[in-house]
A = this chain, B = another copy of it.
Amino acid sequence: MSDVKKVVLAYSGGLDTSVIVKWLQETYNCEVVTFTADLGQGEEVEPARAKAQALGVKEIYVEDLREIFVRDYVFPMFRANAIYEGEYLLGTSIARPLIARRLVEIANETGADAISHGATGKGNDQVRFELGAYALKPGIQVIAPWREWDLNSREKLMEYCEEHGIEVDYAKNKKKSPYSMDANLLHISYEGGVLEDPWTECEEEMWRWSVSPEQAPNEATYIDLTYVKGDISAIDGKEMAAHEVLEYLNKVGGANGIGRLDIVENRYVGMKSRGCYETPGGTIMMRAHRAIESITLDREAAHLKDEMMPKYAELVYNGYWWSPERRMLQAAIDESQKVVNGVVRLKLYKGNVIVVGRQSEDSLFDASIATFEDDAGAYDQKDAAGFIKLNSLRLRIAASKGRGIE
């Protein structure tokens, strides 16, 4: 066991990380600094301060990071249209690099030589936290209690609390959810419990942020989203900060039954896992961003983005936000977004996000060229013959050598 003097812990205020505070103090005989962030998970963060104090913590960080989170992490990722494995909008993944960064910065400020987190040894989050921390501060030590201790059941945790006088009233009052959950402004996720059988439909009562399409209003909701350089800057003409945009879209999306997802995904550590996600605002943003790009982006710029996207999404999912290759891709993507300005109009109805209009001063859509009606000479149809002749030349030569119909 390495010699640790002070450790910064990503502290939620919940039972597990409270146990970790005590366990770190005991096991490493070190000082614990707690860091609790409001990323829009929908729970008060201030109560974590008192809890940390009760556990004997002296240096306590409680921070509202919502704007930084959405502006510097979520929005850049949405410029890339990032989707993991065709479905997942990376809600958990994108929060981890920010937390890793703050853990390291706080370690620098407080003179800590280690960080710690409450992620298990089977999941992606341990990787994301630790790759981030190592990429930013290579000598940092990382303590992952779930990989070290033997408190690997609820009973043992409760026993530990009792033995160490950790208050568990909050745990008693609330019935423990059968799911492992994670939430931030972009999404809430559910794993475990009955979800471990991918043939079992998930229960309606599991979902927390959205009504079901069945329960959504019978009237559609229309909204206009204004884009500046690929980011949403206003809704229905009202300017908003990045995190306000997402909060608003979560509300209106959730009310219309939008953004539920139930998938089996491939974890970076090598196994498949069932996950359910509610991403109302993100689901709306994904659709809208593609729509504004559809009229403003050059074709080949758009296709290049589509070719880059799977790798970008994989990097975010796997925890490589702070890697040079993610920065390279981001540079390419951001270069493309200068012209992604304009307005998208959406219709939201019972789980559907329907694009009904897009307009932009940077639009490359030119009805006078595209029209099947008379175009007044904007396009010479005879050019198409030469275009086809030369594009087919290699195929014609090959066919003339016997590579035609097999």
Question: Can you tell how many copies of this chain the complex includes?
Answer: 4
Q: Within the assembled complex, what's the spacing in Å between the Cα atoms of A391 and B369?
A: 15
User: Of the 9-residue stretches A26-34, A247-255, A375-383, which lies at the interface with chain B?
Assistant: A375-383
Q: Within the assembled complex, what's the spacing in Å between the Cα atoms of A242 and B101?
A: 40
User: Are the CB atoms of A270 and B327 closer together than 8 Å?
Assistant: no
CB A253 to nearest CB in B, in angstroms, measures: 14
Provide the residues of chain B in CB contact with A307, threshold 8 Å.
307, 310-311
- Contact A192:B388 (CB < 8 A) given known A298-B323, A322-B395, A397-B364: no
Q: Within the assembled complex, what's the spacing in Å between the Cα atoms of A366 and B198?
A: 10
User: Are the CB atoms of A386 and B394 closer together than 8 Å?
Assistant: no
Q: Is A173 an interface residue (CB 8 A)?
A: no
User: Are the CB atoms of B303 and A314 closer together than 8 Å?
Assistant: yes
Q: Is A403 an interface residue (CB 8 A)?
A: yes
Q: Supply 24 A–B pairs (Cβ within 8 Å), ascending by A.
A: A85-B302, A122-B379, A130-B392, A136-B399, A138-B400, A144-B385, A147-B381, A192-B371, A196-B370, A198-B359, A199-B345, A199-B357, A201-B347, A213-B352, A264-B294, A264-B295, A270-B391, A272-B370, A307-B307, A322-B395, A324-B336, A328-B333, A331-B335, A383-B386
Q: Is A86 an interface residue (CB 8 A)?
A: yes
CB A339 to nearest CB in B, in angstroms, measures: 7
Q: Within the assembled complex, what's the spacing in Å between the Cα atoms of A180 and B372?
A: 9
Provide the residues of chain B in CB contact with A392, threshold 8 Å.
130-131, 134-135, 270
Provide the residues of chain B in CB contact with A130, threshold 8 Å.
388, 392
Q: Within the assembled complex, what's the spacing in Å between the Cα atoms of A180 and B101?
A: 40
Q: Is A177 an interface residue (CB 8 A)?
A: no
Contact of A355 among B262, B273, B367 (CB under 8 A): B262
CB A150 to nearest CB in B, in angstroms, measures: 11
Per-residue contact bits, chain A 284-317, to B (CB 8 Å; 1 contact, 0 not) = 0000001100110111111111110011001000
Provide the residues of chain B in CB contact with A314, threshold 8 Å.
303
